[in-house]
Amino acid sequence: MSEGETHIRLTAWVHGRVQGVGFRWWTRGRALELGLVGSAGNLADGRVEVVAEGVREHCERLLTALRSGESPGSVDRVVERWSPAKGGIRGFVER
């Protein structure tokens, strides 16, 4: 992290046909390419929750990827929330 870059937390809820299609694995790959830490996990209602921490620009790029239509499955919409990074996270895992 260079001077002036602060870390932020992105929480994104991905709606659509995103469970059982490799979406979490795909998301993990994009996040790791961007140097982000966090997780992607299935929710009981069929959504996937993505939590990513890192430089804001990289989190924004992940959000763009989630909305790109290039992921496995079919994304109907993505709801996002931004908050300060909490830290203490290592790697990016599928839950």
Reported pTM = 0.93
Mean pLDDT of 63-91: 95
* Average pLDDT of the chain, as a whole number: 94
CB neighbourhood size of 64 (10 A): 11
Q: Which domains does the chain have, with CATH numbers?
A: 8-85 (3.30.70.100)
- Secondary structure E strands in the chain: 7-17, 37-42, 48-55, 74-84, 92-94
DSSP letters, 15-28, are EEE-SSSSHHHHHH
Question: How far apart are alpha carbons 28 and 62 in whole angstroms?
Answer: 10
Q: Out of 24, 28, 30, 47, which one is annotated catalytic? A: 24
Q: Using a pLDDT cut of 90, give the percent of the chain over it.
A: 93
Q: Are strands 74-84 and 92-94 parallel, antiparallel or unpaired?
A: unpaired
| Residue-wise pLDDT tens digits, 27-44 | 999 999 999 999 999 999
**Catalytic residue list contains 61:** no
* Residue 4: predicted pLDDT: 56
Q: Out of 17, 30, 42, 81, which one is annotated catalytic? A: 42
**Catalytic residue list contains 24:** yes
